[in-house]
Amino acid sequence: MGKRWNEATSRAAVGQLLEGRTANQVLDFDDPACWTALDQAVRAFGRYWWDEYDPRTSGRLCQRQETALCHPDGRVRENALVTGARTSAFWHLVVVRCTDWVEPVRLCARVLLRERLTGAPEQSLRDLTPLVLRLGRRVEGGWARGLFEEALDAVPDLAQSLLRDSRDSATRRLAARVVLDHGLLDVRALARRAAGDPDPVLARLWTDAALAAMAAQGPDDRAVDILLGGRMPLVRSAGVTALRQAGRAHEAANHLADRSGLVRACARWVISQDGGDPHARHLELCGHLDTVAPYAVTGLAECGRREDAALLRTLLTHPSGGVRAQAVAGLRLLESASVETVLPLVDDPAPAVAREAARALLPYARRLCADLLTERLSPRWPTATRQAAFRLLRERGGVVQLRSCVALLADTDPRLRVRAESTVRNRTWTREVPPGDAEVDRLLRQCAHLFSEDAMDVTRTRIGLARSGTS
């Protein structure tokens, strides 16, 4: 699946086909989007109302099999189905024609596709399933989808092969359902697939199947361990939950510092169901400053006890930036982040700490000293500090917001520049500026390049300033 198939690339592909290049040179047989885009592009070439319509080009569409199968005239499409050479491109376009809006064309294509699937089932399923599933969402797409689902269900070993070899997510999901329906994988194989599959839909499918297998057959320690090592939080949380059924609830404490909030919540649930105190375990994890993990701090705050705010404040000076950042996040969760405590952390050298500090201070943005934050927009401050200061100043609105945006229009960080420019263009600052203000006039002139002349006139009129063309 190389290039992205859109109107421009598909139009270019039609032109190359008409110039005599082969389908293998022009079309992508592994990408189902190629064939739907080609179909649309050929129809555009043959329509008289198209901007670049040329009667000579329209006539040439009938002479090439791939373009004739997509021709706007249904009689041309039907004739191409009957007389066309049975190439790989032909069969892909037969699938497209199975959803054709002209009934004779559609019925002819369906007869051909059924014959192809009967004569060469394995090759057809490998080559055409991605396109069939893509077109299955069309009004007439259900017929081919049902046909291929039935055919694949009859050869479950091929489904396993597609699951391993196919790069199309819809094909892999269909193959996975066939594999599960036929019970071809044991609980450990299901757990391995859940832990390693990059597709979230399939990861959930494998995880649910593994849990169902353990519920029916009894716990399997190896399968639980595999789930605990999964790449996705959904998979790891299932492994943590399975610890209880496996008689290993005491191991849930090892996952209280997981980077995922879902996994941490499941670990706390398992501990509490086993008669333990997850809050006490979190306190124990956070009590050793030399070994405390960042997400153990987050987990402590998730327990929701405000008396823990004192411990979190002591972690604001921890040597690890990750721990400091999660301590700030924890104070925010407990609604215990005071301005006096958090504001100095905007200057923290760790970007994560500066980001969390800005997030915690947002509710108090209008109480903060604008001059102090504006000074931190200077290029001598780290990028993270400038970003945090701008986020807080932007929350202020009005002249303060506009002033901070203008200060960053020439910033060295491109993301900050873009944010400043978009904030000026959004014009939310106009709601709170005093009408006819001289400073606003001066600032607006500095960012005149961001507006068209008409937009600038409308903006100036809205805030009580004379139009740019008048004195």
Q: Is the pLDDT of residue 174 over 70?
A: yes
DSSP type of residue 249: G
**What pLDDT, on the 0 to 100 scale, is given for residue 54?**
59
pLDDT digits (tens, 9 = 90+) for 121-150: 999 999 999 999 999 999 999 999 999 999
Structure confidence at residue 469 as a pLDDT band (50, 70, 90): low
Q: What share of the chain is helix, strand, coil (3-state, %, to 5)?
A: 70, 0, 30
**What pLDDT, on the 0 to 100 scale, is given for residue 18?**
86
Give percent of the chain with pLDDT exceeding 70: 96
pLDDT digits (tens, 9 = 90+) for 245-265: 999 999 999 999 999 999 999
Structure confidence at residue 15 as a pLDDT band (50, 70, 90): confident
Q: Which amino acid appears at position 231 of this protein?
A: R
- State the pTM of this model: 0.85
Count of Cβ atoms closer than 10 Å to residue 121 Cβ: 16
**Residues 254, 259, 261: CA angle, nearest 5 degrees:** 90
Residues 295, 299, 301, 302, CA torsion sign:
positive
Q: What are the residue ranges of helices labelled H in 120-168?
A: 121-135, 142-153, 156-165
Q: Is the pLDDT of residue 441 over 80?
A: yes
DSSP type of residue 107: H
**What pLDDT, on the 0 to 100 scale, is given for residue 2?**
46
Q: Is the pLDDT of residue 226 over 80?
A: yes
Structure confidence at residue 74 as a pLDDT band (50, 70, 90): very high
Residue whose C-alpha is closest to residue 98's, from 84, 78, 113: 113
Q: Is the pLDDT of residue 3 over 80?
A: no
Structure confidence at residue 281 as a pLDDT band (50, 70, 90): very high
Looking at residues 325-354, what average pLDDT do you find? 96
Tokens coding 300: 């402590």
Q: Is the pLDDT of residue 336 over 50?
A: yes
Residues 380, 382, 386, 388, CA torsion sign:
negative
**What pLDDT, on the 0 to 100 scale, is given for residue 1?**
43
Tokens coding 184: 């071809």
pLDDT digits (tens, 9 = 90+) for 19-55: 889 999 999 999 999 999 999 988 887 554 445 555 6
Alpha-carbon span 305 to 378, nearest angstrom? 39
Structure confidence at residue 440 as a pLDDT band (50, 70, 90): very high
What's the count of helices (H) and strands (E) in the chain, helices before strands? 29, 0
Q: Are 238 and 227 in contact (CB under 8 A)?
A: yes
Looking at residues 395-405, what average pLDDT do you find? 95
Alpha-carbon span 31 to 36, nearest angstrom? 10
**What pLDDT, on the 0 to 100 scale, is given for residue 52?**
53
Tokens coding 152: 């694949």
Q: Are 36 and 134 in contact (CB under 8 A)?
A: yes
Higher local confidence (pLDDT), 305 or 469: 305
Alpha-carbon span 466 to 471, nearest angstrom? 7
**What pLDDT, on the 0 to 100 scale, is given for residue 7?**
82
Q: Are 312 and 321 in contact (CB under 8 A)?
A: no
Domain borders along the chain are 1-184, 339-471
Alpha-carbon span 470 to 120, nearest angstrom? 78
